[in-house]
Chains A and B, each alone.
Chain A
């Protein structure tokens, strides 16, 4: 392989930013199987288009590809192929099921971690129930730490739209969490 082969660089970048890619895909698609497949598609595509990378934030470039592959999958889904979204299933089955499918420590909690696992489950459910355009900017800004400009470029929308979606998304999420906490009589 040529030492200047950009595919080597892109492969490294994608693997280094694999958690970010997976987290985004998981939030956009709602289940592990689709998220894994979308990230795999994105990886292949990133390697193929490595030579077209023209500079700028490499992470944002990679996440843009991931996002495209997620939407391709969503389209496939709505075109007839049926997938059962695990989150949807969990919402039907209730909190216990949600906790079983949550990442990492959520399900393994001895009683000390139980409260925070429940809190996390609640946050996950409320974030998942947000309209996708709000959920997406929240994930990109709050979890993946992209700037307004980077998000605007990724989504091909004006910065003003990023700002309004972010504000509304935060508002709705805070409101939902407050209502949720009030219902269960706990602190938010």
Chain B
């Protein structure tokens, strides 16, 4: 790849719009090309300045109050709409996945899978709608891990990925079916990331799923399974899932 042909790929690489193979090819050019590295650095600097929260216009409190006052009245249980909607979306997804003529047990498996997927999306939406998405607020994994002890059968491994742009925000307990599961909460820019840690090595979840702009990734975490739910874009979701999988193989620094 020469410099001219790779230069037009630079913004695509920078914006995460290249597929993994093309990204790797571009990176190998980047290793040997100071001019492209400089250009990439300029784009990064510009983005950092534009993304500076202090440079962003925030909605005035008066506007927020005015809109909140005209918003439809919440039903008695404030989280119901999320759950109900999640249920209806998932029902639609399950219908799509389980076309007629399947074996009965396959149907059951599909339904169980859809049910669990629904629980995870619903858990995430419920957390977003709640006053705080975390029960324990901490960026320190040494605080988060012991917090789970006694609340769930097994405390999940906790890693911080702040250096990679995904700082730990805390943790909470949520439900998947009738099981209480630990949830690790991370942030990425304005996005919230939930990591549900399921005790089973094969909970029967799809490797990935998408719903209304929210994505799910499932990965093995030792003998457990991690289900990641967030509205980050697909590339970022994949990157985070990969970090999480690697974080498990690398021994946690004590």
Which residues of A does B touch, CB under 8 Å?
Answer: 1, 3-9, 11-12, 14-16, 18-23, 26-27, 32, 35-36, 39-40, 43-44, 47, 55-60, 103-106, 119-120, 123-124, 127, 138, 141-143, 145, 147-148, 163, 166-167, 170, 173-174, 177
Judged by a CB distance under 8 angstroms, whether B47 is at the interface is yes
**Min CB–CB distance B112 → chain A (angstroms):** 23
Mark contacts of B187-221 with chain A using CB atoms, 8 A cut-off: 1 yes-contact digit, 0 otherwise: 00110000000000000000000001100000000
Number of A-B contacts (CB under 8 A): 132
Judged by a CB distance under 8 angstroms, whether B17 is at the interface is yes
Q: Is B49 in contact with A18, judged by CB distance below 8 angstroms?
A: no
**Min CB–CB distance B69 → chain A (angstroms):** 11
Q: Is A18 in contact with B59, judged by CB distance below 8 angstroms?
A: yes
B75 partner, pick from A3, A22, A58, beta carbons under 8 A: A3
Chain B residues with CB under 8 A of A167: 11
State the majority secondary structure of interface residues on B: helix
**Min CB–CB distance B182 → chain A (angstroms):** 25
Chain A residues with CB under 8 A of B190: 20, 145
Q: Is B213 in contact with A58, judged by CB distance below 8 angstroms?
A: yes
Judged by a CB distance under 8 angstroms, whether B46 is at the interface is yes
Q: Is B57 in contact with A142, judged by CB distance below 8 angstroms?
A: no
Which residues of B does A touch, CB under 8 Å?
Answer: 11-12, 15-17, 42-43, 46-47, 49-52, 54-60, 63-64, 66-68, 70-75, 80-82, 84-85, 88, 128-129, 189-190, 212-213, 231, 233
Contacts A43-B67, A142-B50, A170-B46 given; does A124 touch B55 at CB 8 Å: yes
Q: Is A32 in contact with B213, judged by CB distance below 8 angstroms?
A: no
A120 to B57, CA, bound (A): 12
Q: Is B67 in contact with A8, judged by CB distance below 8 angstroms?
A: no
Chain A residues with CB under 8 A of B58: 19, 22-23, 103-104
Q: Is B213 in contact with A57, judged by CB distance below 8 angstroms?
A: yes
Chain A residues with CB under 8 A of B43: 170
Q: Is B129 in contact with A15, judged by CB distance below 8 angstroms?
A: no
A98 to B64, CA, bound (A): 24
**Min CB–CB distance A100 → chain B (angstroms):** 15
Contacts A/B (CB < 8 Å), 11 sampled: A1-B74, A22-B59, A27-B57, A44-B70, A56-B213, A59-B231, A60-B213, A163-B12, A166-B15, A170-B11, A173-B46
